[in-house]
Structure 1
Amino acid sequence: MKNIAFIGAGSMAEAIISGICRNHTADPADVSVLNKSDDERLVFLGDAYGVATTGSAREKLKEAELIVLAVKPKDAVTAMAEIAPFVPPHAAVLSVIAGIPISAIEAGLGCRAVARSMPNTSAAIGRSATGVAWNDHVTDEQKTAIRSLLASIGTVAEVTEDELHAVTALSGSGPAYIYYLAEALEDAARAAGLGQATARDLIIQTIEGAGAMLRSSGAEPADLRMDVTSPGGTTEAGIQGLREGGFQEAVSRCIRQAEQRSRELGAVPAVPPRLR
């Protein structure tokens, strides 16, 4: 897909642009970035990736085949209102904005192909777990192009828009849960006498190794857990401690509450009456 216009120049926009360039998904000359403010940021992106960020970026918007909405949720309505007169009728829209439903994007930019996605912060290193949902106007060709673009920052799962709330709770917020677990492991390891640097190295490798085992083995998590758990051994004792602490219930509550919050945020009217 040629002529990709990014609206917003933050970390998620940069992660996708970096992935596009790294994987040759699109020619940087066909990518433009618009941002309401922070010219220094635009200069950086132009210098780092060779994308258009100057006055020509607005002209490229008029020829765009794909618009990537990557602004903050609070700025989404204003951003859509500002670009609406320049967006060509045939252009598809890919949103990476949390909490803004497809219906709000359709209201702001008209009846057109819209994809709504939920990447996570690991997109910065090309390891995002991203969910994407489509409206009925997205063609098979557009889906292929958008999947390719999102695959440049990690794995992609197609879901319904309603399922994006669960995706947000699971993988959108998921890195924070893993970091929280790493914090707890590090604190416990230091209390047991390990130095911080040693503990962190061991924790990072343990998390990476377990994830790699899940992916490469194809085994069920429970089976992999049992492979490590010898009767009467140290792992069994540790698992018992987690059970006594209500580990599974806490994880379940974590996902439920995050999903509910996603639904609450998505229910807030995102488009003022004048744009409806």
Structure 2
Amino acid sequence: MENIGLIGYGSMADMIARQLLRHGKIKENELFIETRTKGERLKALISDYPNVSADSLENWAETCRLIFICVPPLHVIETLRRLHPYVNRNTHIVSIAAGVPLRLLEAETEAGISRVIPAITSEAEAGISLVVHSEVLTADKKERLNELLSAFSSVREIKESKLDAASNLTSSAPGFIAAVFEELALSAVRNSSLSKEEAFDFLIHSLYGTGKLLIEKNMSFEETLGRVATKGGITGEGAEVIRASVPEVFDQVFERTLKKYKLFTEQTEKQK
């Protein structure tokens, strides 16, 4: 076992901490957390795991071989600079921020660097963790991080050039899916006598079942549609409307989000 540090404690950091503890990948007294606002999320963790330490990084960073930086993108560089006196080549630093590439992280520290984009669906152990390792990171550090993440997610190592688009399909996708299907449920309410509660209940179970079919039966989206939509039937009518209207919407989603990733990178570069 080894000490692990978390800097920042939002929903993703909470998911990582709880899953590592739940799966026995770390003991309570081996987990150290620094967060500027000790809110309800951290209080709930300490209530469940009273031996976890919540203290300034200056008091524990030197003892940790693995440190997750879980702060917003524009605070990553300042956090690395705060860490600088306490880390060395034996330390492995993992950033979960979007839009802050390895080259900017590597320029700030001699520690080994990885980027991880986790997914909130890993709370249900059904998420993908996207991983990009520095080329100079040692094999044992790569294996150890991948092993930890594998306890609660499917690990996918990916080229950094693909990371932003892939993040839309893993980390952001639950939010996009929620937004899309909320609108589908509300449309059902507007166009029928269904209550909002009924519409949401029916649709959530359909989403769950569809996901199980896609994974457990190894079905494609096309196959799934083919199983439901009979020629000249009702489902086909709806699918035609979606295919005519939705591509432009999702092209806009990618256009705007990829611009946002680029903006974070540009703003981080200015900090140097």
Same fold (TM over 0.5): yes
Distance 2:131 2:18 in 1: 19
- The aligned residue for residue 186 of structure 2 is 187
SS of match in other structure, 2:131:
strand
- The aligned residue for residue 8 of structure 1 is 8
Residue 160 (structure 2) pairs with residue 145 (structure 1): no
Deviation at 1:90, TM superposition (A): 0.5
Residue 163 (structure 2) pairs with residue 161 (structure 1): no
Distance 1:36 1:178 in 2: 31
Q: Which one is further off, 38-47 or 228-237?
A: 38-47
Distance 1:18 1:231 in 2: 48
Deviation at 1:43, TM superposition (A): 5.1
Confirm or deny: 8 A CA contact 2:7 2:35 kept in the other structure: yes
Distance 2:202 2:84 in 1: 51
Confirm or deny: 8 A CA contact 1:123 1:153 kept in the other structure: yes
Deviation at 1:91, TM superposition (A): 0.5
Deviation at 1:59, TM superposition (A): 4.1
Deviation at 1:125, TM superposition (A): 4.2
Distance 1:92 1:7 in 2: 13
Residue 26 (structure 2) pairs with residue 26 (structure 1): yes
Confirm or deny: 8 A CA contact 2:87 2:111 kept in the other structure: no
- The aligned residue for residue 169 of structure 2 is 170
- Letter of the 1:237 counterpart: E
Confirm or deny: 8 A CA contact 1:20 1:152 kept in the other structure: yes
Confirm or deny: 8 A CA contact 1:112 1:137 kept in the other structure: no
- The aligned residue for residue 214 of structure 2 is 214
- Give the TM-score, by structure 1 length: 0.88
- The aligned residue for residue 74 of structure 1 is 74
Alignment of 1:88-167 (within 5 A): 88-108=88-108, 110-167=109-166
Residue 267 (structure 2) pairs with residue 268 (structure 1): yes
CA offsets 1:193-223 (integer angstroms, 9 cap, x no match):
2111111111111111111111111122211
Distance 1:40 1:215 in 2: 35
Distance 1:82 1:115 in 2: 18
Distance 2:125 2:18 in 1: 9
- The aligned residue for residue 234 of structure 1 is 234
Alignment of 1:32-43 (within 5 A): 32-38=32-38
Runs (5+) with no aligned partner, structure 1: none
Confirm or deny: 8 A CA contact 2:88 2:111 kept in the other structure: no
After TM superposition, the runs of 4+ consecutive aligned structure 1 residues lying more than 6 A away are none
CA gap 1:97/1:213 in 2 versus in 1, 3 angstroms: same
CA gap 1:270/1:36 in 2 versus in 1, 3 angstroms: farther
CA offsets 1:18-70 (integer angstroms, 9 cap, x no match):
01011112222211112245387655533333322247x64432121111111
Residue 109 (structure 2) pairs with residue 84 (structure 1): no
CA offsets 1:63-100 (integer angstroms, 9 cap, x no match):
21111111122322222222211123301111111221
CA offsets 1:231-274 (integer angstroms, 9 cap, x no match):
11111111122234x2233324423432233233223334634x
Runs (5+) with no aligned partner, structure 2: none
Distance 2:184 2:39 in 1: 42
Distance 2:205 2:171 in 1: 22
- The aligned residue for residue 243 of structure 1 is 243
Alignment RMSD:
2.3
Confirm or deny: 8 A CA contact 2:73 2:264 kept in the other structure: no
Distance 2:128 2:39 in 1: 30
Q: Which one is further off, 96-105 or 157-166?
A: 96-105
Distance 1:74 1:112 in 2: 20
Confirm or deny: 8 A CA contact 1:21 1:27 kept in the other structure: yes
Deviation at 1:163, TM superposition (A): 1.0
Distance 1:154 1:207 in 2: 20
